[in-house]
Amino acid sequence: MGNRVNATNNNGAFVNERANDSLVKVRGLSFRRNERVILEKVDIDILRGKITAIMGPSGTGKTTLLRIIGGQLHPLQGSVEIDGLEVPALSTPDLYELRKRMGMLFQTGALFSDLTVFENVAFPLRVHTRLPESLIRDLVLMKLQAVGLRGAQALMPAELSGGMARRVALARAIALDPMMIMYDEPFTGQDPITVGIIMKLIQQLNATLGLTSIIVSHDVVEVSAIADYIYVIAEGHVMEHGTPAELGHSKSPWMQQFLQGLPDGPAPFHYPASDFATELFGAPGA
């Protein structure tokens, strides 16, 4: 399970302490796409009521990990336990029952393009409940009010900015009052004001609704500001984990390169290639 930075306990005791209060327990998780190793023996604990971030460079399997937790992908090895249920072993009906208690915010928002904002948020309520229309209306308006977009209820998704689309998607994700929400790159491509709004919403919703939040992101500053705990994944492994403050003091050169956004270091600037001079001018004497 990677290294815990500046851990006061020994690592084993810490794992037990976290595991006892975990909503999500990932153990020995491996996943491959074709022959490429995406995740290799990953251990992660997501604590109840906390905001846990999974960070790492692009293409390191963060979104894949979310999809495995959500049961959309099957791991090659290992276990994923949510609230005591082993996700890969669940039957489809049981998995769907579990998903009713989970929300997910996709990178693009993934709003249904043929439905209005109101109908998008009402969708899970209409499908999974038999509430009267008046109650559905009230619930949808409450969720939209929570994300500040009650006034946009009649708009179509194509009329929304990227940030607004994510906020509507967030309202839809909390429509059924889930126990946890997974955020896939919630800050990517957003302007500073929208980033601030999304950060505030994630914190506010987590606290007021008693949620457990998992954020997948590579935005160091934003995530460090709101996460209670961070796992850093690279090359298929958990490189380090700890609180944002602990990771900030990491002595690992790779970690420092990642946190400070340095262009060169243990993660090289250049993709592996043959000698530049040789490629330009040919081998000596050739």
Partner 1 sequence: MIATLLQDFGRVTLTAIARMGRGNLFMLRVLHALPSLRFGGPLLVQQIYSVGVLSLQIIAVSGLSVGMVLGLQGYNMLVDFGAEQSLGQATALSLVRELGPVLTALLFAGRAGSALTAEIGLMKVTEQLSAMEMMAVDPVKRIIVPRFVAAFLSMPMLAAIFSAIGVLGGYFVGVGLLGVDSGAFWSQMQSKVNFGEDILNGFVKSIVFGLVAAWIAVFEGYDAVPTTEGVSRATTRTVVETAFAVLGLDFILTAVMF
- Closest to partner 1 by CB, 18 vs 99, is 99
With the CA atoms of 144, 146, 152 and 154 taken in that order, what torsion angle do they form, in degrees rounded to the nearest 10?
A: 10
Does 123 interact with partner 1 (rule: CB under 8 A)? yes
Question: 128, 140 in Cβ contact below 8 A?
Answer: no
Q: Is the dihedral of CA 128, 130, 131, 134 positive or negative?
A: positive
Give the range of 15-23, 33-41, 119-127, 215-223 binding partner 1 by CB under 8 A. 119-127
Does 158 interact with partner 1 (rule: CB under 8 A)? no
Q: Which of 107, 116, 153, 212 binds partner 1 (CB under 8 A)?
A: 107
Binding mask 80-99 vs partner 1 (x if CB under 8 A, - otherwise)? ----------------xx-x
Q: How many CA atoms within 13 Å lie on the side-chain side of 246?
A: 16
Does 127 interact with partner 1 (rule: CB under 8 A)? yes
Does 102 interact with partner 1 (rule: CB under 8 A)? yes
Q: Which residues contact 251 (CB under 8 A, 6 or more apart)?
A: none
- Closest to partner 1 by CB, 70 vs 236, is 70
Angstrom distance (rounded) from CA 36 to CA 110: 28
Q: How far is CA 25 from CA 29, 80, 82, 108, 199, in A?
A: 10, 6, 7, 27, 25
Q: Which of 16, 20, 72, 278 binds partner 1 (CB under 8 A)?
A: 72
Does 31 interact with partner 1 (rule: CB under 8 A)? no
Provide the minimum distance between the beta carbon of 180 and partner 1 in the complex, in angstroms, as a whole number.
Answer: 12
Place of tokens 């993934």: 110
- Closest to partner 1 by CB, 18 vs 172, is 172
Question: 71, 95 in Cβ contact below 8 A?
Answer: yes
- Closest to partner 1 by CB, 112 vs 191, is 112
- Closest to partner 1 by CB, 72 vs 278, is 72
- Closest to partner 1 by CB, 89 vs 112, is 112
Q: How many residues bind partner 1 (CB under 8 A)?
A: 23
Does 106 interact with partner 1 (rule: CB under 8 A)? yes
Closest Cα partner for 227 from 251, 208, 246, 253? Answer: 246
Does 74 interact with partner 1 (rule: CB under 8 A)? no
Question: 236, 61 in Cβ contact below 8 A?
Answer: yes
Q: Which of 100, 203, 209, 224 binds partner 1 (CB under 8 A)?
A: 100
The distance of Cα 5 from the centroid of its chain, to the nearest Å, equals 21
Angstrom distance (rounded) from CA 265 to CA 274: 19
Angstrom distance (rounded) from CA 168 to CA 111: 8
Q: Which two tokens stand for residue 260?
A: 């400070």
State which of positions 162-201 bind partner 1 (CB under 8 A): 169, 172
What is the binding site for partner 1 (CB under 8 A)?
67, 70, 72, 96-97, 99-100, 102-104, 106-108, 110-113, 123-124, 127-128, 169, 172
